[in-house]
Amino acid sequence: MDELNEMQNTVHEYRKALDAFSKRTGQATQTVELRGSGEEREKIARMDADLTAIEERAQLQALQLRLAKLESQPMFETRAPKAATLGDANDRGSEAYAQRWLNAVIRGDSQEMRALSTGTSGAAIPTDLERRIINKLQQSNVLRSMCPITTIDSKRTISVEGSLPTTSLVAEVGTITPTDPSFGTAISVVPYKYVTATKMSQEFIEDAIGNGGIGSGLQYVAEKCGLSIGLKQEEAYTTGTNSSQPEGIAGSSANTKFVAASQVTDLAGAAVTTVTGDNLIDTVHLVPVQYRNSPRFSWLISDTFLKTVRKIKVNTTDYVWKVGNEGGIANGAPGTIYGVPYRIGQYVPTATANNNVFAVVGDFNYFEIFDRTGITSMMDPYSAASTHETTLYVYTRTDSKITLANAFAAITC
């Protein structure tokens, strides 16, 4: 009662202060914190703090009363076990059983536990709490973390610089010949559509812990559809052919561009296990210096390639890859290959087919991902209504392009 009276008095003073401000300025009362005088703002802030303190005291007192009431109740009660009957309080699938089990756990009521159990060690948990799904661990989308991502509103054409204007050393009053910058072949960006769809029965949607929201079956399915799309995109970003699909940084189109730029260390169809230390050093130095200084200068390799590099030895016994930088964090720095950081892509080729790209090193500022939109979902409850099913469609549109092949070099077979 004291808190109630104090709150009423404070609210009354609060309203008086707001009315006074409104009469003085002609402004709406809610603008007092912006347009009020320093004294008015201070008074309002002080009363806000008083109201908050009163509410907190009232909540604390209410909690204390509830605790006192609970403590006054007996901790144990005699309850004879009942035979489990469908729908009653001893049916593990019923709401009544779940409520009794939860209350027994909270209160530590061992007698209730024995009443719920057919044994003596404790009651079986409710059916709903036993439900679980084992998630497969999937590697995240590596290239989306390495490359610039641009959102586009339509198809795009990107001009690639060919050459700079010519600079000449001329004498005083010498002839100056102007030149223009040139541009190479334009790059066309086309958002390709990736979509996954799945049907769910209405019973699944209702029974998988709710109709929607966090923890629901619907949320689980939507997340897995998004993960499936992400993995499919990662595959295209890595090995896409640039024909009716994105261009992959280690795909056949990329290999052609690297060959044209004379930037390939060719293993002539040999296996990835034949890669040598010389191959690694030569490939890094095929990339012009200006691109090697970029924060995004990195290797993209397969796990098989990494294993091969780790096994390179001197005199058949001494590993070139020293223990101090074996890929983990050592002395505060991540592992590198010839001083260049690396990322492992699960779709980088490892087979010995001709023109496969085993590894790419370069400035990944020049491998760009273009998203038309983010991942979008659409629910269709009508097409399969005759079987009481709902179809979830999840889709996105994206493309990827090598915007400057000169910024990369590759090891191929």
> CB neighbours of 353 closer than 8 A, spacing ≥ 6?
413
Name the strands in the sheet holding 336-337, side by side, starting at the edge strand that comes first in the sequence: 264-266, 408-412, 357-363, 297-301, 340-344, 336-337
Phi, psi at residue 390, to the nearest 5°? -120, 135
Per-residue pLDDT of the chain (413 residues; tens, 9 = 90+): 666 677 777 777 877 888 887 788 877 777 777 777 777 778 878 887 787 777 777 777 777 776 666 555 554 444 444 444 444 556 666 667 766 766 665 566 666 766 776 554 556 656 555 555 556 666 778 999 899 998 888 888 878 777 778 888 888 888 888 888 777 778 889 899 999 998 888 887 777 655 445 456 667 787 788 888 889 999 999 999 999 999 999 998 998 888 877 767 777 778 888 898 899 999 999 999 999 999 999 999 999 999 999 888 887 777 777 655 444 444 455 678 888 999 999 999 998 887 789 999 999 999 999 998 777 878 888 899 899 888 888 888 999 999 999 999 999 88
Q: Domains in the chain, start-ordered, CATH in brackets?
A: 2-71 (no CATH), 95-130 (no CATH), 182-412 (3.90.1690)
Residue with tokens 């780790």: 310
Q: What are phi and psi of 31, to 5 degrees?
A: -95, 10
d(CA 14, CA 19): 9
Reported as type and span, the H/E element at residue 207 is helix 202-207
User: Quick one: which of 350, 363, 362, 367 has its CA closest to 413?
Assistant: 350
Mark residue 210 as left, alpha or beta (left: phi above 0; alpha: psi -120 to 50; beta: remaining): left
Beta bridge partners of 361: 299, 409
Residue type at position 307: K
pTM given for the model: 0.63
Picking from 49, 72, 73, 69, the residue whose alpha carbon sits closest to that of residue 61 is 69
Angle between helices 38-71 and 2-25 (to 10 degrees): 160
Contact in structure between 401 and 368 (CB atoms under 8 Å): yes
Structure tokens at 198: 């799945």
To the nearest 5 percent, what fractions of the chain are helix, strand and coil? 40, 20, 40
